[in-house]
């Protein structure tokens, strides 16, 4: 059974700092997604990672995938307040279901 673990679950940081969110998963998968959710809102797709070594960047966010280690990272560079949100990773199972991490609640203080 595929399990997905994110850490940390809560992160409070200052603007301008760098930090990384980790997503570990337990069995082989060919796709991993990162989503952002603002309080009371829906989920916004950030990145889709499909192969070992894949790296994608959008603004201050960069996601990478290591399929051998079954690990994805979401790196935040020089954080700004607007990035405060909850970030989820979701991993595709052998069929079509997405198995979700519990989410990382990120608070960025001015």
Residues in the chain: 110
Residue 22, CB-side half-sphere exposure with 13 Å CA sphere: 8
Distance (Å, whole) CA 32 – CA 30: 7
State the nearest-atom distance from the C-beta of 16 to another protein, in Å. Answer: 28
Closer Cβ to another protein, 68 or 95, answer by number: 95
Using the rule CB under 8 A, which residue among 85, 101, 106, 108 binds another protein? 101
- Summarize as ranges the residues that interact with another protein (CB under 8 A): 4, 30-31, 33, 35, 40-45, 48, 50, 88, 90, 92, 95-103
């Amino acid at each position: 059974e595929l399990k997905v673990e994110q850490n940390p679950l809560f992160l409070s940081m200052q603007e301008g700092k760098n930090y990384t969110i980790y997503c570990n998963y337990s069995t082989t998968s060919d796709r991993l997604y990162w989503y952002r959710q603002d309080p009371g809102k829906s989920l916004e797709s950030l990145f889709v990672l499909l192969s070992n070594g894949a790296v994608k960047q959008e603004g201050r966010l960069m996601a990478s995938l290591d399929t051998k280690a079954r690990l994805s990272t979401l790196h935040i560079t020089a954080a700004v307040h607007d990035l405060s949100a909850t970030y989820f990773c979701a991993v595709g199972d052998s069929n079509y279901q997405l198995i979700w991490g519990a989410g990382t609640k990120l608070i960025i203080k001015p």
